[in-house]
Structure 1
Amino acid sequence: MKQSKAVTKKHGALALSALCLALFAGGASAAGEPFSYDSPWMFGDWGGDRAALEQKGVKFNVDYTMEAASNFAGGYNSSTTARYSDQWAFGVNLDLEKLLDWQDTEFQMTITNRDGNNLSDQVADPRTGMLSSVQEVYGRGQTWRLTQFWLRKGFFNDVLDIKAGRVTVGEDFDNFDSKFQNLAFGSGQAGNWRGDHWYNWPVSQWGGRVKLNFTPEVFLQVGFYNQNPYNYDRGDGFRLEFNPTEGNLVPVELGWKPTFGPDNLPGNYRIGFYYSSTNDDVYSSWRNGAYHDDAHSYGGYILAQQQLFSQGGSADRGLTLTLQAVMNDHKTAKTDNYQAISLAWKGPFDARPQDEIGIGAARIHVNSDYTSMLRAQNRENGVADYNSPTYLPIQEGSEYNYEIYYNFHVTNWLQLRPNLQYVAAPGAVTKVDDAFIGGLSANLSF
């Protein structure tokens, strides 16, 4: 733990140093120079070598994300406290059409590392944890991982597209861009509420997807992902065996990505279904200290995202509405349904055309069969006192998450986002006070 805190402080100092450099480097003239405002990379274009490599089909990226959060009031631990978490991502993309003359083919490899601590552990009862997380970059094991190692190939002028290798489900299914720090508003929500089977970034597994593009706007895709316990375990991020296989996840998604009006306002509409062949305990079968039935899991999701209007005649600015919903089966899922609504306004001020304001609200509901199972266990254990260490806190109803942020486009390689969050009924435990949280996140590209 001491080593982790030391590493976290070092990363925090690096982020603050980068911010200071960005604020004082606005006068750098050439976009390729280190710390130039216009450069997409903090360390510049390596004297032109980086751009030259990209033209030949080799693209490198080194990205750093930090998220800090402080509990201003409420929660399980009402003392003012702060936590810091971060993620490094080291990637290379190879355009194999340029390199090997393989038409419409690319290779991607990404290695990630997550570190730090999670304020949500203080906000919710530690015996249950929060349903969401106030720092979305935390979780899935604070460890090094091989997150991407895949080959993608297009056929018949991109009518058919196939990807296979070590992949994450959420990079293709239920996918969109988000700047929210709270987990309840980002991409891949189907995986957040069925995370025991649907593995989002940075957890990868062997698998892939087949995508059929009916038109440039309409597509259908089917995925197949192998599941084994090594995918998730800390320290096993480079363990690539197929065995022991617990089952397979199969998602199916129909998508539509239209543009509307003279300003070509973009939309992103997706409806999906998933099925997992793994055997899960049926919560309603709990009695006499054990589950007596198991079943396979399934669920579905809807994503509807649309830019409502442009600003200054450009679709690069304007207001976008995002609606999300997830439904999971009532037999095996702890969270059986989820809904969220959010608004993001890009370029709200003429003087800051690349900044962004976002606001969102989300509801995460606990399966009533899961609630009944908790009550049954407490009765069988003969404990009714919430303060008893053997008591299982009753998670019932819903947890609600709210967030508002302002994204400062400091430079093309640095974005900084202060935010405020409010969590009602953390962990869906009514005995825990609502929490008011302040956050700060940043994205850097080196």
Structure 2
Amino acid sequence: MHFSSKAKAVSVALTALLSSVSAAHANDAFDAESPWMLGDWNGQRTALQKQGYDFSFGYTGEMATLLDAKRSSSHGTEYADQFVIGAHLDLEKITGWKDTEAQINVTQRNGRNLSNTSDALNGHLSSAQEVWGRGQTWRLTDFWIKKKFLEQKLDVKVGRFGEGEDFNSFDCDFQNLALCGSQVGNWVGDQWYNWPVSQWAARVKYNVTPEVYTQVGVYEYNPENLERGKGFNLSTDGSHGAIIPAEVVWTPKVGTEKLPGEYRAGYYYSTVDAKEITNPQENSHKQGGWVVAKQQLTAHKGDASRGLTGFVNLTVHDSDTNSVSDMQNLGLVYKGAMDSRPKDEIAVGVARINMNDDLNDQRSEEIDAEIYYGLHATNWLTIRPNVQYIRHVGAYKNGENAWVGGIKFQTAF
């Protein structure tokens, strides 16, 4: 066959493929009721899920701009984002392995963070764009397998993943980092690695009752995993010890309307040597604890899918090795306040980050606050415009006070 004939054949094949893809998407793509922007692929996506293959492709984008500051006059705007490509595998359906599942996630981050580029936010302890960080690069974020035993009471997970997926876990709907995700990882970040960094790990969970479970984990400490060129690092050559968290979790359904709650209490200990703050010639070990409480408080006109939810996060850290001694945040989220917008939500949160007194560097506490409106545009797109206020940036007593405007949006392709 001549080159031109081959090209023609390839062209015909590509046209046929694109036509079939277009036909598969024609009825479902951009359907507001679909959970995916690109639809159900003419039913093939649901069919794959029923066979045990659940593929995902998500995107989070965050814009932040400096609105006002007490002393700084320069204003700036930055954008950061993250792609997540993943697959969840039900290995009982695929291979017949009873009560077994696996997950793989690959992430890629881009952009810049206003907290790093704005003079007004110089030294910001939190971050105005939580999606930024840990190197703007590709990473193998999840690569694990999980199996249940003893009539599903015992749950064992091994592979590569981060502590915050299972321990000290919390939602990440706010754009300010001090109100988003596992807070221990934000303030002990030199050893506790939150998403998107992963490390070799094992987690064992036991369901004491349908509402109460306990769990313990062991996570490799390997600082090489932070390097930009080692997002797919599987070696343990740089390991120096382990982080060991333990936690008790209670998930009650409260009242006649069975309003959901989640209460967590935990402790972590690091086997890794860390220099003491007051005596750098001596080594100690990082340790601390946390309490997380989230409870739906009301049902909107009897509808438990709508209503007011409150939350509180508390963490404490040892004063020998950690620059942040403790942090607290609390807030309220109301979903479905308007009957015309039953899936929208409005939320407000305030966080306090308290510095270790032993630092003796004129720092005390930083306050981060945010209010956002979550516009449920479609089942596959949520847009959250927000306003943030940061008091005493960097926890300096005479530090800058700044207002930041932001927009966070999340979509599932």
Structure 2: how far apart are the matches of 1:255 and 1:324? 14
Q: Identify the residue that residue 170 of structure 2 maps to in structure 1.
A: 176
Q: Out of 301-310 and 116-125, give the one that drifted further.
A: 116-125
Q: Kindly state the Cα deviation for residue 342 of structure 1 after the two structures are TM-superposed.
A: 0.8
Aligned 8 A contact 1:336 1:367 in 2: yes
Structure 2: how far apart are the matches of 1:198 and 1:255? 20
Q: Is 1:69 aligned with 2:64?
A: yes
Q: Kindly state the Cα deviation for residue 32 of structure 1 after the two structures are TM-superposed.
A: 5.8
Q: Identify the residue that residue 53 of structure 2 maps to in structure 1.
A: 58
Residue 382 of structure 2 aligns to a residue in which SS? strand
Structure 1: how far apart are the matches of 2:48 and 2:213? 32
CA deviation map 1:293-329 (0-9, x unaligned): 1111100000011100111322210000001100000
Q: Out of 115-124 and 316-325, give the one that drifted further.
A: 115-124
Letter of the structure 1 residue corresponding to residue 326 of structure 2? N
Structure 2: how far apart are the matches of 1:62 and 1:76? 42
Q: Identify the residue that residue 227 of structure 1 maps to in structure 2.
A: 221
Match of 2:347 among 341, 358, 378: 358
Aligned 8 A contact 2:120 2:400 in 1: no
Q: Out of 308-317 and 88-97, give the one that drifted further.
A: 308-317
Matches within 5 A, 1:230-249: 230-249=224-243
Q: Identify the residue that residue 105 of structure 1 maps to in structure 2.
A: 100
Q: Kindly state the Cα deviation for residue 187 of structure 1 after the two structures are TM-superposed.
A: 2.0
Q: Is 1:313 aligned with 2:302?
A: yes
Aligned 8 A contact 1:76 1:122 in 2: no
Aligned 8 A contact 2:377 2:383 in 1: yes
Q: Identify the residue that residue 82 of structure 2 maps to in structure 1.
A: 87
Letter of the structure 2 residue corresponding to residue 67 of structure 1? E
CA deviation map 1:86-114 (0-9, x unaligned): 00000001001111111111010000001
Aligned 8 A contact 1:75 1:123 in 2: no
Q: Identify the residue that residue 284 of structure 2 maps to in structure 1.
A: 295
Q: Note closer, same or farther for the CA distance 1:125–1:369 as it changes in structure 2 (3 Å cut).
A: farther
Residue 316 of structure 1 aligns to a residue in which SS? coil
Residue 416 of structure 1 aligns to a residue in which SS? strand
Letter of the structure 2 residue corresponding to residue 440 of structure 1? I
Q: Note closer, same or farther for the CA distance 1:162–1:52 as it changes in structure 2 (3 Å cut).
A: same
Q: Is 1:427 aligned with 2:380?
A: no
TM-score, normalised relative to structure 1: 0.85
Letter of the structure 1 residue corresponding to residue 380 of structure 2? W
Residue 321 of structure 2 aligns to a residue in which SS? coil
Residue 268 of structure 1 aligns to a residue in which SS? strand
Q: Kindly state the Cα deviation for residue 129 of structure 1 after the two structures are TM-superposed.
A: 2.5
Structure 1: how far apart are the matches of 2:370 and 2:376? 19
Residue 315 of structure 1 aligns to a residue in which SS? coil
Q: Note closer, same or farther for the CA distance 1:444–1:314 as it changes in structure 2 (3 Å cut).
A: same
CA deviation map 1:177-228 (0-9, x unaligned): 2311101112211111111111111010000200010011100000000011
CA deviation map 1:261-312 (0-9, x unaligned): 1211000000000000111111111xxxxx2111111000000111001113
Q: Kindly state the Cα deviation for residue 131 of structure 1 after the two structures are TM-superposed.
A: 0.9
Aligned 8 A contact 1:162 1:208 in 2: yes
Aligned 8 A contact 1:282 1:331 in 2: yes
Structure 1: how far apart are the matches of 2:151 and 2:301? 35
Residue 333 of structure 1 aligns to a residue in which SS? coil
Match of 1:337 among 311, 326, 329: 326
Q: Identify the residue that residue 27 of structure 1 maps to in structure 2.
A: none
Matches within 5 A, 1:411-426: 411-426=378-393
Q: Kindly state the Cα deviation for residue 170 of structure 1 after the two structures are TM-superposed.
A: 0.5
Q: Kindly state the Cα deviation for residue 76 of structure 1 after the two structures are TM-superposed.
A: 7.2
Q: Note closer, same or farther for the CA distance 1:395–1:237 as it changes in structure 2 (3 Å cut).
A: farther
Letter of the structure 2 residue corresponding to residue 351 of structure 1? S
Match of 1:48 among 12, 27, 43: 43
Structure 1: how far apart are the matches of 2:240 and 2:73? 41
Residue 214 of structure 1 aligns to a residue in which SS? strand
Match of 1:282 among 276, 295, 308: 276
Letter of the structure 2 residue corresponding to residue 110 of structure 1? N
Letter of the structure 1 residue corresponding to residue 148 of structure 2? G
Kindly report structure 1 stretches of 4+ aligned residues shifted beyond 3 Å. 75-78, 122-126
Q: Kindly state the Cα deviation for residue 77 of structure 1 after the two structures are TM-superposed.
A: 4.6
Q: Identify the residue that residue 265 of structure 2 maps to in structure 1.
A: 271
TM-score, normalised relative to structure 2: 0.92
Residue 284 of structure 1 aligns to a residue in which SS? coil
Match of 1:348 among 317, 325, 337: 337
Q: Identify the residue that residue 181 of structure 2 maps to in structure 1.
A: 187
Q: Kindly state the Cα deviation for residue 431 of structure 1 after the two structures are TM-superposed.
A: 4.1
Letter of the structure 2 residue corresponding to residue 346 of structure 1? K
Q: Note closer, same or farther for the CA distance 1:405–1:443 as it changes in structure 2 (3 Å cut).
A: same
Where does structure 1 lack aligned partners over 5 or more consecutive residues?
A: 1-29, 286-290, 373-393
Aligned length: 389
Aligned 8 A contact 1:124 1:432 in 2: no
Q: Identify the residue that residue 304 of structure 1 maps to in structure 2.
A: 293
How big is the alpha-carbon RMSD for the aligned residues of Structure 1 and Structure 2?
A: 1.5
Identity of aligned residues (%): 46
Letter of the structure 1 residue corresponding to residue 385 of structure 2? P
CA deviation map 1:10-49 (0-9, x unaligned): xxxxxxxxxxxxxxxxxxxx99610000111111111111
Q: Is 1:143 aligned with 2:137?
A: yes
